[in-house]
Chain A
Amino acid sequence: MDTTICKNCILDSQIPGITINPKTGLCQHCEHYTPLSEEKKGGYLIKMDALFNSPPAGGKYDVVFALSGGVDSSYALYRLKKEYPRLNILAVQFDNSFISETSIENAQKFCALTKSTYMRLSLDQERLRDTFNKAALSTDAYPGFAKYRASDICNTCISIIKQKTIELALSTKSPFIVFAFSPGQTDAPFIQLTRPFLVWMRKLFDGNLKAMGVAEREEYLIDTRLIPTGSFDHQVTIIHPFLVWNYDKPAFKKECINVGWTDPGLKDHNSSNCLLNAFAIKNHLEKYQIHAYAYDLAALVRQGNMKRDDALKKLILNMSDASIEEVQRELNLKNK
């Protein structure tokens, strides 16, 4: 069967669920796309300024920041502190046991640069690897569309990070959590966390882990004792600054390098910090015939945040990469 690529973005007719209109040459996402208005974006900035310029008092930190040490989160931390210098930030780097040494150095460097408190969040490494093994072997542990958003391995890793950063914000009574998701990865710039929503989020991820066959799940989930039973004595809001600021990855990388960020030199086009990522993409492609970054990249192209040719290049994966085989071995998975 011939493959037709959307004329506007990078999604193609071979991806399950994608249809290309023969008349327009566009995929259904491009056909229904409505750009974010300048007025709406301006409103987001006013709201973000208001929140970060006057954080509620009483918390140990103002912001719990999810820092991977890659380009996006390093830049977001740097810019956040530059624009809101009074913020007291706890930057949390999750050690998924596959982060590169360079990304650890980068994270620590950017914490020193921004006078943020650095925290390396480590969980039981053997159990983590077993969980990633189960994610790799699982099918349909996540809902339909989640498969387009990220690989099963990355969905698992990101969900753990979310649960643990929320837990940290609750335990330190910090009002804000910042994730440096790209505008292709999320649509909501602000998410206010309420008790029912927290309980629901926790239950959903618990269900995903259970479907994968993960027996010991509590370590990955928000500690229920920290979820307030009555009315919230402090509100926690998740903020995604890249839905407010313009997103220009090459410019971010340049600025990061200027202030001391080092490129770890991974061959993976889609991650500058995680050694697991390329294997996760390969595993996902084999299971669902979906490139885990296709939707993210397509959205960035649609929004005008990335050139189409650059996005197409990022879809190329070297399946024979030695690092992929190494990860496979470390996860006790047989080579296909």
Chain B
Amino acid sequence: MSEIHEDIRHFLKTEGFLNEISSLQENDSLTETGVIDSIILLQLVDFLEEKYHIEIPVEMLTPENFDTLAGISKSIMKLTQG
């Protein structure tokens, strides 16, 4: 789980969505803290699909699944474990 968190943090930092000293917690809302919006969310989805060799169904793009590091990690785990 923490490996997925780190991958996401690394992506957000590399792309400039998150600064180096940000202390984003696993249950912080990515949209409410101003880290991402709907367009950046799609870039994140693209990154996760490539990184984990998965296809994320559009139905899964909900705030519950994709607005926090914890939610995203859970969704990725679910998809990678079939």
Contact = CB atoms under 8 A, between A and B. Distances in A.
Interface of A: 17-18, 28-29, 32, 140, 142-146, 148-149, 186-188, 191-194, 196-197, 200-201, 204, 207
Interface string B43-81: 100100000000000110111000000000000000000
Contacts of A149: 39
B82 interface: no
A146 B39 CA distance: 9
Contact of A144 (B14, B32, B35, B63): B35
Nearest to B59: A194
A28 B14 contact: yes
B61 A194 contact: yes
Q: In this complex, which of A28, A32, A143, A186 has the most chain B Cβ atoms within 10 angstroms of its Cβ?
A: A143
B59 A196 contact: yes
B19 interface: yes
Interface of B: 14-19, 31-32, 34-40, 42-43, 46, 58-59, 61-63
A17 B39 CA distance: 19
Contacts of B35: 143-145
A143 B16 contact: no
Contact of B46 (A28, A142, A187, A194): A187
B31 A204 contact: yes
Given A143-B37, A188-B39, 10 more contacts: A29-B15, A29-B16, A142-B34, A144-B16, A144-B17, A144-B19, A146-B39, A191-B42, A193-B58, A207-B32
A225 to B, nearest CB: 21
B31 A145 contact: no
B15 A145 contact: yes
Given A17-B19, A194-B59, A197-B58, A187 B37 contact: no
Given A188-B42, A188-B46, A197-B38, A143 B31 contact: yes
A148 B16 contact: yes
Contacts of A193: 58
B38 A145 contact: no
A145 B37 CA distance: 9
Nearest to B33: A143
Nearest to A141: B34
B62 A196 contact: yes
Nearest to A197: B61
Given A148-B16, A194-B58, A143 B40 contact: yes
15 contacts: A17-B16, A18-B16, A28-B14, A143-B17, A143-B35, A144-B17, A144-B34, A145-B17, A145-B40, A187-B46, A196-B59, A196-B63, A197-B61, A200-B38, A207-B32
Contacts of B39: 146, 149, 186, 188
